[in-house]
Amino acid sequence: MARSQQKKRGSGNGTSRGRGSRHAKKDVTDVFEADDDQRQIQRRGHTLDEVDNFEYEAGDIDEDDDEEIDSDDAFEDEDNDRFDHFKFAGSTKPELKKAKKQVKFQEEEPEIDLNEDDDDNAADENSEDGDDYMDLADMLDNSDDQDEDTAAVDQFLGDDGSEEQQSDSDAESDMEAFKGIGSDDSDDNDEAQESMISLIQSLSKKRKQTGDQGGNKKRHLTERNEVYEENEFNLPTTRISASTEQPKRTLDLADMMGSLQGEASLGQVKSSLESLAAKSKATLSAPLAKRVQDRLEREVAYGQAAKEITRWEPTVLENRSADHLHFPMQNGQETRDSKTSASLASTFVASTNLEKQIEQALQDAGMKDEELEAFESLKLNKLSVEEVEQRRQELAMMRELMYRHERKAKRMKKIKSKAYRKLKRKEKARLDEITEMNNVDHEMDQEDMMEAARHRAEERMTLKHKNTGKWAKRALARGQLDEGTREAIMEQLQRGEDLRRKIQGNDGDSDGSDSNDSDDDYDDAHAMAAKLDSLAHDIQQDTQPKKGLLSMKFMQDAEARNQKETMAELDSFREEWLNDEDDDQAEQDPANHRQVQNNPGRIAFGANMKNDKKPVQGTTTPSADVKLNAHGQIEKIARGAAHTTRTTGSVQVASKAAKPSPLADLDDDASNPWLQNDTSRLSKKASKSNKATSTQGKPRKTKGAADEDDDVELDLTQVLTVHKASKSPAAATKKSTKASSKPMPTAASDNDDDSDDADPTPMVPTTNKLTFSQRDLVAQAFADDNVVEEFEEEKQAVIAEDGDKVEDLTLPGWGNWGGKGVKKSAKKKKFLKVTKGISADKRKDAKLANVILNEKRHKKAEKYQSTSIPFPFKSMEQYEHSLRAPVGKEWNTTDIHRKMTKPRVITKLGTVIDPLSAPFK
Amino acid sequence: MANQDKKGSAALLVKPNKKKIAERHHVENEEKYTRGSSLNAKKMKAGYKLKEKIRKQEKEAKEAAQAAALAERLHGEEAGYLEAEGMEKTKNFKQDQLADAVDINTSSKIFNLDLDEFGPYALDYTRNGRHLLLGGKKGHIAAFDWQTSKLHFETHVKETVRDVTWLHNETMLAAAQKKYVFIYDNNGMEVHRMKNHIEVNKLEFLPYHFLLASVGNAGYLKYQDTSTGQLVAELRTKLGGCDTMTQNPWNAVINLGHGNGTVTMWAPTMTTPLVKMLCHKARVTAMAVDPSGRYMATAGLDNKLKVWDIRKYGLIQEYSTKAPAASLSISQRGLLAVGWNSQVTIWKDIFRTKQTAPYMQHLQAGSMMNDLEFCPFEDVLGVGHQKGMSSIVVPGAGEPNFDSLEANPYQTKKQRQEAEVHGLLDKLQPEMIMLDPTQIGKMTRATKEEAQKRQREDQAEQAAEADDLPTKDRKRMRGRNSSLKRYLRKKERRNIVDQDKLDTMDQLQKLQKDQAKPSSGFTTLDIF
């Protein structure tokens, strides 16, 4: 009911009014009431129609129109008849407007044709009635009491006196109209009573006029009353306001507090309620559009969800970056007990005999853990306070320095000056160079130094004496040379020539396969000598004053004795070594020279000779002798003689490399493999001559002087010494005692050569060009003659096949005239289709003469190669590096293999894996 | 004279603490196991994730290398060597002298089998060096565990046996006989006769690919898959009969030596040789490739022995021999054995420097060499010659430490079975044989143009293939699906009208006419 009133207030439209009221009624009234309504609706037919009509009219009525209606106009005759006993004292026309209007409605009602039977209309009628009533009640209501319409009327009927008293001067026009009534009452009580009754009667009459349901309405009104007696604990929810459009307020705190007025004990509650009341003053604003509301809701919800989800981020990130995930997650780690070797060691107790023994041994040695720890802690304890202080200071200093350095570096780094940078760079380069030089100087070995010196020397020799010097150039440029200058230049040239010859001699050596070795030996000798020197120096230097026991005289004496012995030993060794060196040197040179010659046997000889440097003292092992006898017999026939032959031959040639000697011819013959027997004869001769020369005795030490003057002579001597060795197998076999009695280096080499000769030498290196060509003769005797040519042809064919292919697509007869007397045009356009191939210079075998590499596609293997870079990688390098480390167990240790192939997700069998719960660290 | 053979020291069986491995900065010999330089993740252009991945990868690789280097301490054995004192020369040591000096076990490996009836002998050791197979030219085949002298079988096939080889393990072997290649089991039972391989001179087995390669007088190189039985490839060498074949153990490329002095290298999926080298000016008589696949030794009738670097196809050394070498073999540790006439000479360090004297020699008096082979994981050289077979000790020949996952000399039966299954599971495909197998899995080095060209070629090829492919024919009712009709439809689809089609059409018409013609003869219905 209250709601219906509110609705009416808000809307000026009749239709909406009626509808609103009906809905309100539905809302408020209970089930029983609904039946009554239904009945009422059925009963009254025309009233409903009336209302309908009224509604229509009411719809037309505007406020302005209302105002325009004159009260006198409104009061028509019938009205006058009815309301003549009413005095509208002091009422102006506009003030009476409302009442008039109402009356007018009521008057009009009967005139309307009433045939419709509509729920809405019926409801409207009801509400209209209510409205009427309410207006009246409002008129009556001067106090702030909120009453139901009927209740107000009752009250009014009950105590009109009090009503009067309570009348408010501020009351609206309606109220003033009522005042008149009141004043009448005061004049005459009886009269007043009567008039009141009449008023009520008139009201009821009016109701009866409007419809038959007047009584019903009344009943209905009573039914609308509150079930309970009105009191402070049963407060009505709304208060009826005046008939104006002023909104009716809902129950507010003030109403409730009103009842607490007199209660002193509830002061506190009152104050709190007051504050509440102040707050609740603000009215609710209209709700936003649903769409907007939803959007806002979504926004908030998203924010909430996002906040919720961000809490998962660390967990998710961790899981994503984890190498392996064990599921179920939480209890996975706890259950696993890891037995590390350390944990096992800590709980180890010696149980078996062996273990006990070992433990005992450890204990005896003081190697038990506890003892070690104790020892270490002891050491640590020794640090005194001062030391600690000092240490701390040191550290502080270091920190300070580092800090400063850092600061400085930062500052320097900021400098933008180009000039400064340039200077800086230069300085750095210079410093680098210097340090490098220093390093090199320090690091350079004796050998390297030797090497460097030789290089320098070579450089000097090759550059100087070439007339490329400043002076020489100038002199030559001058053209006319005086006697002295010319002579000087000539001399220089001569000198250069000599030196060059010398160098070439060396180069010749290095051509041979053994050259490197010989060089090495040479260097070795020098290095060894230098080392010996330094050793001796060290020993002598090592005479610093001793302390304690060592300072005593007898100790020093003993040491001096020792030192002397050491020195003696050193000297003897040096002597021996150098002799040996000389020997080697002596042996090698001729050997090398011989290598220039194209005789294979000789080469083997030389190389073997070199293999054993150290002289063997004492007798040879009998087994070797036996072997020699057993083995050599066969081989001697084939080889032994030949070797010696060639050596001699080669010596002669080497000595006079430039000029052909009579022996050189022989040698050429000897190099023919088919003429071996002949050469053996030669070799005999040669060996005889060697024998003669070999008696010259010991090897020379004065190598250097000979070198400078005449290599030829030196070569000869060296050859001789060697050939003494080569000759001596016979001697060695005859007299082994001789060798044993004299531990000479030559003897050693003798034996070596001996065995060498006896052995079958199955293969010989063929490095020399000449040798190859001669061997070639033999080869060609066996082989097809044109193997090489055929191969080259084939290669050319393959190149042509793989190369560009030109196809002539010109159609014959097209593009030129035919017929008699037509000449062929020279400029005929040709249509050529070129299929690109691999050009000869881009082939993989372009630089390999004897090789044809297949340039065809290996189609079937292509599927094992990737044409694009697989996903996570960005470059080929990255991808191919990922293939670098194999995973298979064949290439890895078991541990690593397991680790590499461990699956990323490991689930425990038979357990339920719950979704990730939130640990939220 | 001092001789040392393999001497085992107690293996240090310590399991290193994992943490320690991870923390190590450098481990001795680590470089040996790091394959290539590492990438610096910091410097590269890559996203965070990729960088992280690469960093992890590098770390793992380093760890693996370090672990492998650390595991080296488990290699308890050291290689043997011969050392001469003073004026002695190692080449002068003879087998009977060695037998006196070495321990009993080793001395028992010096033996001589006098089989002068059916020689000369070809021989082959299994990959673990445990079993020996002998094939006498005149038909004698014998297989035995040579260390325990347990004979598996011995048989006489009564025809020429030119070569023998073990297959993947000691349970199967192949023999190239007079006409065909036969496969026997370890009881001497003939399992297969491979009729595709005719008049074969040489056999070679590629253990990782399960391929048996053969080459013979016809000059055809044939590959037979011994696991599936398929003939994988038949490659015509076009260089005449061939009796020199060896495999490159590193990339499984087969090397053939030919009569014109060339050596060709083959992969089963290429019809032309990958490489053709002119090595000699006369027939190539023997070849050997070292286990690392870097060096090759060839010998020819021109009395030359040449050592090649087959990474760059360059000649390293050249030696002259007294007589053309009949057989060459390179041991696991890089010793080269040369068999010529009745001699065997063994060379050490021949791939590094030019040698002037051999490391060892052996004379098999009065018997021509036929086949040499170093026994894996043993310091033993097997010598097959005219009058049988002899086993000689060559200190320092074999690898002292074996990898039991690879080849286990002490393999039990169970392990052998396991290894067989694993071998089959890990079998490599024949297409994977190429000169540089490290290219597998990598990016193609083709330029853009090349790649486009290849693509075009492939497309053309596919189109051609698609034409040949039979399109699926829908099912037709009875009577409309005769083979003749099907054939015609197929022809029609291609829009080809040739004589064949016309003939078929005629045939079909005739057939239809025959069917349509009412039978003129008397039927039982005529009675009524």
Q: Where are the domains of chain A?
A: 389-439, 449-501, 786-807+833-854, 866-911
Q: What does chain B come to in residues?
A: 528
Minimal C-alpha gap between A486 and chain B (Å): 50
Residues of chain B scoring pLDDT < 70: 1-24, 467-471, 518-520
Dihedral pair phi/psi, residue A731, rounded to 5°: -60, -40
Contact between residue B112 and residue B90 where contact means Cβ atoms under 8 Å apart? no
Contact between residue B397 and residue B332 where contact means Cβ atoms under 8 Å apart? yes
Instruction: Check CB contact under 8 Å for B278 and A782.
Output: no
Q: Which pair of structure tokens corresponds to residue A895? A: 């541990």
Instruction: Check CB contact under 8 Å for B277 and A850.
Output: yes
Residues 6 or more apart whose Cβ sits within 8 Å of residue A387: none
Q: Which residues of A touch B67 (CB under 8 A)?
A: 892-893, 895-896
* CB of A824 less than 8 A from some CB of B: no
Helix residue spans in A512-552 (DSSP H): 515-541
| Rounded Cα gap, residues B1 and A623, in angstroms | 9
Residues 6 or more apart whose Cβ sits within 8 Å of residue A561: none
How high is the pLDDT of residue A330? 61
Minimal C-alpha gap between B495 and chain A (Å): 28
How high is the pLDDT of residue B390? 95
* CB of B336 less than 8 A from some CB of A: no
How high is the pLDDT of residue B238? 93
Q: Which residues of A touch B405 (CB under 8 A)?
A: 889-890
- Find residue A805's DSSP bridge partners: A835
Please name which of A637, A653, A647 lies closest in space to residue A600, comparing C-alpha atoms: A647
Query: Over pLDDT 90: what percentage of chain A?
Result: 9
A660 band by pLDDT with thresholds 50, 70 and 90: very low
How high is the pLDDT of residue A397? 95
Q: What angle do CA A353, A355, A361 make, to 5 degrees?
A: 105
A50 band by pLDDT with thresholds 50, 70 and 90: very low
Among A153-167, A176-190, A195-209, A653-667, top mean pLDDT goes to A195-209
| Rounded Cα gap, residues A253 and A267, in angstroms | 15
* CB of B22 less than 8 A from some CB of A: no
CA B311 to centroid of chain Cα atoms: 18
End-to-end Cα distance, chain B: 120
| Rounded Cα gap, residues B197 and B208, in angstroms | 21
Query: Residue A18 is inside which H or E element, if any?
Result: helix A14-28
| Rounded Cα gap, residues A573 and A575, in angstroms | 5
Contact between residue B282 and residue B302 where contact means Cβ atoms under 8 Å apart? yes
Instruction: Check CB contact under 8 Å for A884 and B313.
Output: no
A381 band by pLDDT with thresholds 50, 70 and 90: confident
Residue A647 or B335, more confident: B335
Please check the confidence at residue A356 and state whether its pLDDT lies above 70: yes
- Strand segments, DSSP code E, in B386-450 are 388-393
- Cis status of the peptide bond prior to A328, with omega within 30 of 0: yes
| Rounded Cα gap, residues A164 and A156, in angstroms | 10
End-to-end Cα distance, chain A: 60
Instruction: Check CB contact under 8 Å for A851 and B276.
Output: yes
How high is the pLDDT of residue A171? 41
Q: What is the DSSP track for A125-153? A: HHHHHHHHHHHHHHHH--SS----HHHHH
Q: Is A698 left (phi over 0), alpha (psi -120 to 50) or beta?
A: beta
Minimal C-alpha gap between A457 and chain B (Å): 29
| Rounded Cα gap, residues A89 and B214, in angstroms | 141
Q: Which pair of structure tokens corresponds to residue A21? A: 């009221």
Q: What is the DSSP track for A263-279? A: -STTHHHHHHHHHHHHH
Indicate the residue type of B249: P
pLDDT average, residue stretch A578-599: 46
Q: Which residues of B touch A878 (CB under 8 A)?
A: 39, 44, 46, 50, 54
pLDDT average, residue stretch A295-320: 89
Contact between residue B150 and residue B140 where contact means Cβ atoms under 8 Å apart? no
* CB of B431 less than 8 A from some CB of A: yes
Dihedral pair phi/psi, residue A411, rounded to 5°: -60, -45
* CB of A565 less than 8 A from some CB of B: no
User: Rounded to the nearest 10 degrees, what angle do helices A553-596 and A711-727 cross at?
Assistant: 100
Instruction: Check CB contact under 8 Å for B318 and A761.
Output: no
Buried b (16+ CB within 10 A) or exposed e, B159-168: eebbbbbbbb
Q: In chain A, which among 858-877 make CB contacts under 8 A with chain B?
A: 858-867, 869, 872-877
Please name which of A68, A224, A233 lies closest in space to residue A151, comparing C-alpha atoms: A224
| Rounded Cα gap, residues A846 and A841, in angstroms | 5
Please name which of A348, A343, A380 lies closest in space to residue A362, comparing C-alpha atoms: A348
Instruction: Check CB contact under 8 Å for B356 and A850.
Output: no
The pairing of beta strand B254-257 with beta strand B244-247: antiparallel
Minimal C-alpha gap between A676 and chain B (Å): 13
Residue A150 or A268, more confident: A268
Please name which of A58, A91, A59, A55 lies closest in space to residue A72, comparing C-alpha atoms: A91
Contact between residue B391 and residue B194 where contact means Cβ atoms under 8 Å apart? no
Is residue B478 classed as helix, strand or coil in its secondary structure?
Answer: coil
Contact between residue B347 and residue B338 where contact means Cβ atoms under 8 Å apart? yes
How high is the pLDDT of residue A81? 54
Convert the pLDDT of each residue in A701-725 to its tens digit.
434 433 433 333 333 333 333 333 3
Best of A763, A776, A778, A786 to mutate (most B CBs within 10 Å, chain B): A763
Q: Which pair of structure tokens corresponds to residue A587? A: 């042996």
Residues 6 or more apart whose Cβ sits within 8 Å of residue B34: B61, B62, B65
Q: What is the DSSP track for B120-149? A: SEEEEE-TTS-EEEEEETTSEEEEEETTTT
* A435 burial level (CB within 10 Å; 0-12, 13-18, 19+): exposed
- Cis status of the peptide bond prior to B120, with omega within 30 of 0: yes
Question: Does the interface predicted TM-score (ipTM) exceed 0.85?
Answer: no
- Find residue B82's DSSP bridge partners: B3
* CB of A513 less than 8 A from some CB of B: yes
Instruction: Check CB contact under 8 Å for A624 and B46.
Output: no
- Find residue B391's DSSP bridge partners: B111, B382
Q: Which residues of A touch B91 (CB under 8 A)?
A: 759
* CB of B405 less than 8 A from some CB of A: yes
Is residue B390 classed as helix, strand or coil in its secondary structure?
Answer: strand
Convert the pLDDT of each residue in B423-459 to its tens digit.
999 999 999 999 999 999 998 887 777 888 888 888 8
Q: Which pair of structure tokens corresponds to residue B51? A: 């960088």
Please check the confidence at residue A811 and state whether its pLDDT lies above 70: yes
* CB of A666 less than 8 A from some CB of B: no
How high is the pLDDT of residue A376? 78
Q: What is the DSSP track for B214-270? A: EEETT-EEEEEETTT--EEEEEE-SS----EEEE-TTT--EEEE-TTSEEEEE-TT-
How far is the CA of B279 from the CAs of A762, B152, B253, B271, B298, in angstroms? Answer: 20, 40, 17, 21, 8
Indicate the residue type of A451: E
Number of H helices, E strands in chain A: 43, 6
Instruction: Count how many Cα atoms sit within 13 Å of the Cα of residue B341 in the half-sphere of its side chain.
Output: 14
Please check the confidence at residue A248 and state whether its pLDDT lies above 80: no
- Pairs from B190-193 (Cβ < 8 Å, separation ≥ 24): B192/B229
pLDDT average, residue stretch A632-651: 32
How high is the pLDDT of residue A777? 63
What integer best gives the mean pLDDT of chain A?
Answer: 62
Contact between residue A844 and residue A853 where contact means Cβ atoms under 8 Å apart? yes
Helix residue spans in A234-324 (DSSP H): 253-259, 267-279, 290-310, 313-321
Residue A25 or B464, more confident: B464
Q: In chain B, which among 381-400 make CB contacts under 8 A with chain A?
A: none
* CB of A215 less than 8 A from some CB of B: no
Minimal C-alpha gap between A821 and chain B (Å): 43
Q: Which residues of A touch B262 (CB under 8 A)?
A: 791
* CB of B75 less than 8 A from some CB of A: no
How high is the pLDDT of residue A908? 87
Contact between residue A750 and residue A634 where contact means Cβ atoms under 8 Å apart? no
Which residue from B minimizes the CA distance to A898? B64
Please check the confidence at residue A131 and state whether its pLDDT lies above 80: no
Contact between residue B243 and residue B201 where contact means Cβ atoms under 8 Å apart? yes
| Rounded Cα gap, residues A135 and A244, in angstroms | 9
Query: Residue B195 is inside which H or E element, if any?
Result: strand B190-198
Contact between residue B205 and residue B166 where contact means Cβ atoms under 8 Å apart? yes
pLDDT average, residue stretch A144-171: 44
pLDDT average, residue stretch A93-105: 46
Residue A254 or B125, more confident: B125
Contact between residue A122 and residue A48 where contact means Cβ atoms under 8 Å apart? yes
Minimal C-alpha gap between A782 and chain B (Å): 7
Convert the pLDDT of each residue in A518-550 to its tens digit.
444 455 666 777 777 777 777 766 655 556 666
Query: Over pLDDT 70: what percentage of chain A?
Result: 41
Indicate the residue type of A684: K
